[in-house]
Amino acid sequence: MRRRSHWAWGWADRFPDRDARRAIGEQVRAITSFDVKDVTEPVALDAITMPAPRIDAPPSLAAITSIDHEDRALHTRGRSYRDVVRGFYGDFASAPDLVMRPRDEREVDAILDWASSARVAVVPFGGGTSVVGGVEMDERRETYAGVVSLDLGAMTRVLEVDATSRAARIQAGATGPQLEAQLAQHGMSMRCYPQSFEHSTLGGWIATRAGGHFATVYTHVDDLVESMRVVTPRGLIETRRLPASGAGPSPDRLMLGSEGIFGVITDAWVRVQVRPTFRASASVKFTSYERAVDATRAIAQSGLFPSNCRLLDQREAMMNGVAMGASVLVLGFESADHPLEAWMERALSIAREHGGESEGATYRSGAGSADDAAGRWRQAFLDAPYLQSSLVSLGMIADTFETACTWDRFATLHAAVVRAVRDASARVCGAKALVSCRFTHVYPDGPAPYYTFVAPATRGRELEQWTEIKRAASDALMAHGATITHHHAVGRLHRPWYEQERPSLFEHVLRATKRELDPAGILNPGVLLA
């Protein structure tokens, strides 16, 4: 069986060997003139020490409980830059005492019952891909008798498909590929492709309000959920399966983004799609980023609803090998119903009206059309996180963050964010970071910009240096009216800024909800609420 890396992103076999990483280091040096370090190796799995489990599972749950060394290492944390660095250096001191893999709702319920009475913290665990400290146990580990990582990995089935309504009921532990493979048997697809798609799970997407495939309309998984089942320490919450309702505040919307602090999502009815047969794609170059932003805004406000509307700034365009010295707007439309010429031609007209240059669109039809440029882009997109692990082994800081803001604020925000990251990097790393930006999603009233930055770290001081840069970036987001996260979630990492963003009375509401549903306070302590 293919193994997941105990410290790095994704599959263990995807971590390049020493020579390959050295070559990456040479490339980075050439592009950045950063002081790239010599490659070093992560602490091997068998060299890792972790505290012995402090608790035993009750006999009734023994069959689904693991204290395996590798299992515990894999469940110690997610895959933020901070996590990868700690893993690289072999720090697994906060490993969960036990890993439990319930096979059904009844077993989830039994775990929560036992944990509530035994004062054992429970961290729901889907794909373990959190980049915000969502699945680790924080400093309060010692205030609990034990910590369980509740892994949904044994609940991966598509339970029902309603082809008429284009919806499916899917267990929360299904990863992207697992659920897509099962839906494909019915000619369906969920088409929710967060960057973590390969490993992350439906339950994780819902709990963290993941951002999906579509740049417009159905941007968050929120818009795809019909209903869900959530096992809380107080019992089951099952919402009614509906396309829409206006009956009181939406219970689904309270669970969307609850990040495991109220209950464990066990399955959900979600909207699915018929696989698209028509596709249109185009790219448009702009010499002026400002005009490119205006063009993107005009398209976002046009009502054309492109499935892809990704504005890459010059640096992103260069790094993606798309263009040199220009910003590039990547446009895509897809449909299982109709040819897309009218949509795409109008979008290209808007782009050209704003000074964009394009060689025109490519149109494809037929079922096989995913194995092309769009497919390659998607693969490159899914592969991107793997690069981070190599950069860590080269002593680099490499991270991403994302946000959303209204259009009127974007220019000021963008300038402030880039400046904040570069200045912080210069201060703590001795060199200005490389910062690039793309839009992942766009709304009529604003974009969701996604930032990537790379800076040269000092070995052994990476986390301290990274913390300063992350703080500067996050402070800039807050100061300019943006959100601390459009689709990466809050977890433990973003909590200080989330506390600024969230109305203070809403914190009281969340606490009251928590007391109601999780009276013993065992679920994912430290997430969302301090």
Least separation in angstroms between residue 336's CB and its own copies is 8
Residue 371, SS3 per DSSP: coil
> CA–CA separation, 241 vs 253, rounded Å?
14
User: Which member of 3, 106, 240, 352 binds its own copies (CB under 8 A)?
Assistant: 240
> Minimum Å distance from CB 306 to its own copies?
11
| Annotation marks residue 81 as catalytic | no
Residue 173 marked ligand-binding? no
Instruction: State which of residues 232, 266, 320, 465 lies at the interface with its own copies (CB under 8 A).
Output: 232
> x/- contact string, 297-336, with its own copies (CB under 8 A)?
x---xxxxx-----------------------------xx
The residue type of 343 is W
Q: Which stretch binds its own copies (CB under 8 A): 44-52, 177-185, 419-427, 514-522?
A: 514-522
128 labelled ligand-binding = yes
Catalytic residue among 81, 193, 218, 450: 450
Gap between the Cα atoms of 490 and 511, Å rounded = 16
Residue list 206-225, contact with its own copies (CB under 8 A): 208-211, 217, 219-220
Q: Is 524 in the site for its own copies (CB under 8 A)?
A: no
Which is closer to its own copies, CB of 219 or CB of 320? 219
Among residues 47, 52, 56, the alpha carbon closest in space to that of 6 is found at 47
Between 226 and 462, whose beta carbon lies closer to its own copies? 226
How far is Cα 485 from Cα 210, in angstroms, rounded to an integer? 10
Residue placing its CB nearer to its own copies in the complex, 393 or 440: 440
Binding-residue total with its own copies (CB under 8 A):
94
Among residues 143, 245, 287, 412, the one that binds its own copies under rule CB under 8 A: 245
Q: How far apart are CA 115 and CA 233, in angstroms?
A: 9
Q: Closest CB to its own copies among 137 and 261?
A: 261
Whether 283 has a binding-site annotation, put simply, is no
The answer to whether 517 contacts its own copies (rule: CB under 8 A) is: yes
Q: Which of 448, 455, 522, 523 binds its own copies (CB under 8 A)?
A: 448
Identify the CA nearest to 259 among candidates 207, 205, 194.
207
Identity (one letter) of the amino acid at 228? Answer: M
Among 104, 113, 139, 341, binds its own copies (CB under 8 A): 341
Left, alpha or beta for 351 (phi > 0: left; psi -120 to 50: alpha)?
alpha
User: What is the bridge-based pairing of β-strands 98-100 and 146-151?
Assistant: parallel
- Between CA 87 and CA 74 the distance in angstroms is 10
458 to 487, contacts with its own copies by CB under 8 A?
A: 481-487
Among the candidate windows 73-81, 109-117, 157-165, 196-204, which touches its own copies by CB under 8 A?
157-165
**Alpha-carbon span 141 to 121, nearest angstrom:** 8
CB 91 within 8 A of CB 84: no
Confirm if 283 and 352 have CB atoms less than 8 A apart. no
**Tokens at 381, concatenated:** 């997109």
* Pairing verdict, β 167-171 and 264-271: antiparallel
What is the contact mask toward its own copies in residues 283 to 302, using x (rule: CB under 8 A)? --------------x---xx
451: contact with its own copies by CB under 8 A: no
User: Closest Cα partner for 94 from 51, 30, 60, 42?
Assistant: 51
* 400-439 positions binding its own copies, by CB under 8 A: 404-408
Contact flag: residue 247 with its own copies (CB under 8 A) = yes
Question: Minimum Å distance from CB 158 to its own copies?
Answer: 16
Residues 482-511 that bind its own copies (CB under 8 A): 482-490, 494, 498, 501-503, 505-506, 508-510
Q: How far apart, in Å, are the Cα atoms of 468 and each of 87, 145, 463, 500, 501? A: 20, 33, 9, 18, 20
184 binds its own copies (CB under 8 A): no
Is 261 annotated as contributing to ligand binding? yes
Q: What are the DSSP E strand ranges found in 120-240? A: 120-125, 146-151, 158-162, 167-171, 188-189, 225-232, 235-238
> Looking at the DSSP assignment, which residues form a beta bridge with residue 297?
none
Residue 85 interacts with its own copies (CB under 8 A): yes or no: no
* Closest CB to its own copies among residues 91, 267: 267
Assess contact for 498 and 528: CB atoms under 8 A: yes
Interface with its own copies, residue 159, by CB under 8 A: no
| Residue 351 tokens, joined | 């782009």
Q: Please state the φ and ψ torsions of residue 398, each to the nearest 5 degrees.
A: -145, 120
Tell me the binding residues: 124-130, 259-265
Active-site annotation, residues: 450
Please enumerate, by residue number, every residue annotated as part of a binding site for FAD: 124-130, 259-265
